[in-house]
Chains A and B, each alone.
Chain A
Amino acid sequence: MAVDPKLSHTAAMILQALNAGYIYGFSVMEMTGLPSGTVYPALRRLERDELIRSHWERQSIADAEQRPARKYYRLTAAGKSTLEVSRKRYPLLERFIPAEEARSV
């Protein structure tokens, strides 16, 4: 991975959304307004670049709510530092998806 990777605005938005607590693909879509064909490939790339990490929800939780288990994404330490750099580059990012809107899932 590059020491200081330059993220596109879209990738930075997705990172910001994940950081704000929108931790699965569809919620990122809803928050950013990006289409599924952009969000999911971007999530794969960010995971490949080790900026985010994915994990499956526990099956018992999904079973209790009678729905399929979801795949969640979280920022890694490298992802957080990259997001910090991206915020300086795209100052409106934080205003667009404020951290206060973060929700727990």
Chain B
Amino acid sequence: MTPLAEMLLGWLRRALVGGAALLVPAGMRADWVREWQAEIWHVERSGAGARATTAFCLGAVQDAWCLWQHARGNRPRPASLHGSAGQCLLAMATVLAAAGLIAYLLPEARSATSALSAPARTGLIRIEKAGGERGGATSIPFEQFEAWSRGRQRYFDEMAFYRMSREIVLEGDSPKGGWKIAYATSNLFTLLGVPVRLENDGAAANGGMPAVIISDSMWRRAFGCDPDVVGRILRVGRREARIAGVAADRSWRLPGHVDAWVLEPEAAMAAHASGNVVAHLTSAGRAELWAGSVHITAYEPDDRELDLIGFSIGEEPASPLDLYGFALFLAFLSLPAITTVSLGEYSSSPHRPHWPRRIARWLYLGAKIALLLSIVYYVSIDLAYWRPFGGPYAADYIQMSSAFALCLGGMRWVLLDQRQRCPVCLRRVAHPAQVGLASRTFLAWNGTELVCGGGHTLLHVPGLPTSWFSTQRWLYLDASWDFLFAGGPDAG
């Protein structure tokens, strides 16, 4: 055997024993490792050969496995928790925590959900020349915008200007591709109600460069979600601009897709450039709004009349919470189609559990539903904003469909689970036994009998619902049944 092979086998032996040691219970591990190391030392010096020594080490894995199995078998199992309501709620809370953590760790999901805390500003209109195609390229000269913003307006209290352009973007010498750029006055985001803080009225502090805000999707695509992107300098067209932040895609509510916004002071805008004007209506302006639009007559610098039309900017696109709410509504509407909404609280006798137990049962159902709905929300967000499943446009559809399916399936499970919980201890009934024969349906009942592990109840579920036995029934067991259950009904 070559020295290299011997060396590799030596590593393998150490890895085998080291890995196997992890299976050994912590209290015995040090002693176990010491014994195996001593034995291997002696085997190595017995002239057994490298292969035989390695085969000897395989025994360590078997030895550790046996110890692990024994420790596992001896581990006390919390019988009182097994199958109990607490175990179920704990499992659901764990799933919720995991789903919430994933949603927190996914940057897209975080930005989508955090947009909820910044509601869109209302009373905004986009001004176009009358007679043009709605949402098409409009041509309001910047000097016209300047004239309006200098003068006192009755219907508007704030205005912003932007123009769209396609530019080649570079970072140093590395090309970032052709981007759709919106050159805008520095107050555009403030006007739209998107919280972006800039220094020096849109020009970044260093060198008076314009600030560029990049879209969430471009940040992911061109910068690989780099958290240190702010402050880097891009060449946009023929000008340099400093990255000042990242904006969520859904925060842009104006027509057209934009990859980045270059924000610059009004003084830096080319006077002859034509673009779009966004304005915020005063209360008087809102009163003039009719069917989402308002006709405006303005005067050009040479006193020529200019017919304009202002279109109300649609409300913010449906937020994840809106989509979730709608999916929930649909799911609850569809629920009776896939399961009975009965909780199966029927008793074979007039006996009913005491009211604290009945309240506990309802509280348990409420807690389960609350946890389920929270899980559905976070899991649907996780799925929608998980990168392999598509871009921001697919996210809404994925969230909607997954929330619907999860809620429907989840609610079905919640009801089925509730129907199989002992009304006394909320433990799941178990040990199903087939009782009776289907051929004797008209002579005696046939179906499935389940028993509560705590010895409180028997659940009879008819195999074939009949007019005299159509739904499941609970049979409350009295003290005469105690001998069947270890430790009586209250035993764990």
Which size class do A's interface residues fall under?
10 to 19
Interface positions of B (Cβ within 8 A of A):
31, 34-35, 37-39, 41-43, 45-46, 55-63, 66-67, 70
How does the 8 Å CB contact mask read for A31-42 relative to B, with 1 for contact and 0 for none? 000011111110
Contact B38 A69 (CB under 8 A): yes
The DSSP consensus for interface residues of chain B is helix
Question: Within the complex, what minimum Cβ distance (angstroms) separates A39 from chain B?
Answer: 7
How does the 8 Å CB contact mask read for A53-69 relative to B, with 1 for contact and 0 for none? 00000000000000111
Interface positions of A (Cβ within 8 A of B):
24-26, 29, 35-41, 44-45, 48, 67-71
Minimum-distance CB pairs A-B, first 8: A36-B59, A37-B62, A37-B59, A41-B66, A68-B38, A40-B63, A71-B35, A36-B56
Question: Within the complex, what minimum Cβ distance (angstroms) separates B430 from chain A?
Answer: 32
Contact A68 B61 (CB under 8 A): no
Q: How far is the CA of A38 from the CA of B59 in the complex (A)?
A: 7
Point out the residues of chain A lying under 8 angstroms from B58, CB to CB.
Answer: 36-37
| Given contact pairs A26-B43, A35-B59, A40-B59, A70 touches B38 in the complex (Cβ within 8 A) | yes
Q: How far is the CA of A67 from the CA of B38 in the complex (A)?
A: 8
Question: Within the complex, what minimum Cβ distance (angstroms) separates B96 from chain A?
Answer: 41
Contact A67 B63 (CB under 8 A): no
Q: How far is the CA of A36 from the CA of B67 in the complex (A)?
A: 14
Q: How far is the CA of A37 from the CA of B67 in the complex (A)?
A: 12
Point out the residues of chain B lying under 8 angstroms from A39, CB to CB.
Answer: 59
| Given contact pairs A26-B46, A36-B56, A44-B67, A67 touches B62 in the complex (Cβ within 8 A) | no
Could you write out 14 A-B pairs with CB less than 8 Å apart? A35-B59, A36-B39, A36-B59, A36-B60, A37-B59, A38-B59, A38-B62, A44-B63, A45-B66, A67-B42, A67-B45, A68-B41, A70-B42, A71-B38
| Given contact pairs A37-B59, A44-B63, A67 touches B35 in the complex (Cβ within 8 A) | no
Question: Within the complex, what minimum Cβ distance (angstroms) separates A28 from chain B?
Answer: 11
Point out the residues of chain A lying under 8 angstroms from B66, CB to CB.
Answer: 41, 44-45
Contact B59 A26 (CB under 8 A): no
Point out the residues of chain B lying under 8 angstroms from A35, CB to CB.
Answer: 55, 59
Q: How far is the CA of A38 from the CA of B42 in the complex (A)?
A: 18
